Structure 1
Amino acid sequence: MHHLHTRRTLALLVVLIVGVVGGASATAAIMRAAAPVREVLVQSTNPKGGDGRTLYLQRVSIPGNTPLAAHTHAGTQIAAITTGTLRYTVIEGKPVKVLKPNALGTKPEFVRTIQPGQTYDVEAGYSVIEPAGTAHKVQVIGSSEVVVYVASLFTNGEPVSIPYVTAS
Structure 2
Amino acid sequence: MTHPRRPRPPARGARLVAALVAALVVALPSGGMTAAAEPAPTATATRQEFAEAAPRNAPGQTLYFQRVTIPPGLALVPHFHEGLQLGRVVRGTLTYEVVSGTVQRVDRAGRTESVTGPRTIRVRPGETLIEDAGLAHTGANRSRGPVVIDVAALLGTGAPLATPLGQPATGTRVALTVELFSQETRLTELGATVLYGWNRLTGTATDPSGPVAVEMQASVDYTSGSGPFSGFVTFTFADGAVIGTRMEGLATRGADGATQFASTVGVLGGTGRYAGATGTGTFTGTRTAGVGQPATLTFTLTVGRA
User: With structure 2 as the length reference, what TM-score do the two structures score?
Assistant: 0.40
Q: Tell me the equivalent position of 2:151.
A: 150
Q: Tell me the equivalent position of 2:174.
A: none
- Give 1:75 deviation, angstroms: 0.3
Q: Structure 1 regions of 5+ residues with no counterpart?
A: 1-29, 103-107
Q: Retained in 2: the 8 A contact 1:84–1:141? A: no
**SS of 2:118 mapped into structure 1:** coil
Q: Does 1:165 align with 2:166?
A: yes
Q: Does 1:97 align with 2:97?
A: no
Matched residues, number: 130
CA distance in 2, matches of 1:39, 1:162: 19
The 5-angstrom pairing of residues 14-163 of structure 1 reads: 33-45=42-54, 47-92=55-100, 94-102=101-109, 108-110=110-112, 112-163=113-164
Deviation track 1:27-60 (CA, whole Å, cap 9, x = no partner) reads xxx9785211012111002x13111110000100
- Give 1:139 deviation, angstroms: 1.0
Cα RMSD (Å) of the superposition? 2.0
Q: RCO higher in 1 or 2 (8 Å CA, sep ≥ 6)?
A: 1
Deviation track 1:74-102 (CA, whole Å, cap 9, x = no partner) reads 0010000000111111111x300110232
CA distance in 2, matches of 1:141, 1:131: 25
**SS of 1:132 mapped into structure 2:** coil
Q: Retained in 1: the 8 A contact 2:73–2:142? A: yes
- Give 1:141 deviation, angstroms: 2.3
Q: Retained in 2: the 8 A contact 1:89–1:114? A: no
Which is strand-richer, 1 or 2?
2
CA distance in 2, matches of 1:61, 1:139: 11
CA distance in 2, matches of 1:100, 1:42: 26
- Whichever residue aligns with residue 160 of structure 2, its letter is P
Deviation track 1:53-73 (CA, whole Å, cap 9, x = no partner) reads 100001000001211110110
- Whichever residue aligns with residue 91 of structure 1, its letter is V
CA distance in 1, matches of 2:145, 2:114: 25
Q: 1:117 to 1:32 in 2, by over 3 A?
A: closer
- Whichever residue aligns with residue 62 of structure 2, its letter is T
CA distance in 2, matches of 1:157, 1:32: 30
CA distance in 1, matches of 2:106, 2:89: 11
CA distance in 2, matches of 1:32, 1:48: 41
CA distance in 1, matches of 2:61, 2:71: 30
User: With structure 1 as the length reference, what TM-score do the two structures score?
Assistant: 0.72
CA distance in 2, matches of 1:129, 1:58: 15
- Whichever residue aligns with residue 72 of structure 2, its letter is G
**SS of 2:160 mapped into structure 1:** coil
Q: Retained in 2: the 8 A contact 1:87–1:138? A: yes
Deviation track 1:142-167 (CA, whole Å, cap 9, x = no partner) reads 1100000110001110011111139x
**SS of 1:69 mapped into structure 2:** coil
Q: Structure 2 regions of 5+ residues with no counterpart?
A: 1-38, 168-306
CA distance in 2, matches of 1:91, 1:155: 22
- Whichever residue aligns with residue 48 of structure 2, its letter is E
CA distance in 2, matches of 1:90, 1:125: 20
